[in-house]
Amino acid sequence: MKEHAQAVVIGGGLVGCSVLYHLTKLGWTDVMLLERDELTSGSTWHAAANIHGLHDHNNISKLQYYTMNLYKELEKETGQGCGIFQPGSLYLAQTRDREHQLRLQEAKGRYFGVDFHEVSVDEARQLHPLVDYSGVRCIMYEPDGGNVDPSGVTQAYAAGARAAGAQIHRFTPVTETNQRPDGGWDVVTPIGTVKADVVVNAAGLWGREVAKLAGFELPLMTMEHQYFVTETIPEIKAMEGYTSGLRTRAATR
């Protein structure tokens, strides 16, 4: 392991690898990522990895929309598949508050150039006939919505960063980060110490512990996040090819 880097990124999940990749794009090629286990072994591995262009916060919306469009380029650039699947997404509001939120997002979509528009129950039923739409107050449709393979995306960022000169060390936990008198950092691991001008904490749900290594108290709280995985549902399997045809029609309306 080399002894100096412009920046050391701690954590090899989606965020750490994305930061590493984007640093190289900005010309910071003397950069290193340290991951205590395997890349994607944190929460990234568990993500359903749904992609959508809008969020209640404008900056997150910009980031989400930017990355949604980046994945195809990333696949082309690195040759690493990102598992991009964009059949379109429906957003349902059953309460007044949710309707308000979706209508705000529709307005924001116009501002950011994201296609996110209201559809009628009949149109929604054509797009997804298996949903029970009773009691729904409004329905929004995002033709580019879908999901990616979070491991594939992380590996693609890592491949792009490595190709630009970044180093990635897996199975290398950071045990100390000590500030030096010149403002830089000694980043300590079991296989050696790296002097870094800048340290990036990308340790996800362990971000609080990693911040503590530098003497910072981050008031972070880990939240539970769940999804469920089903066996193949025959009615959905029977729809294969059906949804993509409908999507084409809906997108040209």
Ligand X SMILES: Cc1cc2nc3c(=O)[nH]c(=O)nc-3n(C[C@H](O)[C@H](O)[C@H](O)COP(=O)(O)OP(=O)(O)OC[C@H]3O[C@@H](n4cnc5c(N)ncnc54)[C@H](O)[C@@H]3O)c2cc1C
Under the rule (CB under 6 A), what is the footprint of ligand X? Answer: 10-16, 34-37, 41-44, 46-50, 173-174, 202-206, 210, 225-227
Instruction: Check: CB of residue 180 under 8 Å from CB of residue 15.
Output: no
Q: Which is nearer to ligand X, 40 or 78 (CB)?
A: 40
* Nearest distance from C-beta of residue 163 to ligand X, angstroms: 20
Bridge-based pairing of strands 138-142 and 117-119 is: antiparallel
* Nearest distance from C-beta of residue 140 to ligand X, angstroms: 17
* Nearest distance from C-beta of residue 10 to ligand X, angstroms: 5
* Nearest distance from C-beta of residue 229 to ligand X, angstroms: 10
Q: In angstroms, rounded to a whole number, what is the distance separating the alpha carbons of residues 58 and 61?
A: 5
Q: Which is nearer to ligand X, 83 or 126 (CB)?
A: 83
The CA angle 220-226-227, to the nearest 5 degrees, is 150
Q: Which is nearer to ligand X, 175 or 248 (CB)?
A: 175
Q: Which is nearer to ligand X, 49 or 166 (CB)?
A: 49
Q: In angstroms, rounded to a whole number, what is the distance separating the alpha carbons of residues 199 and 183?
A: 11
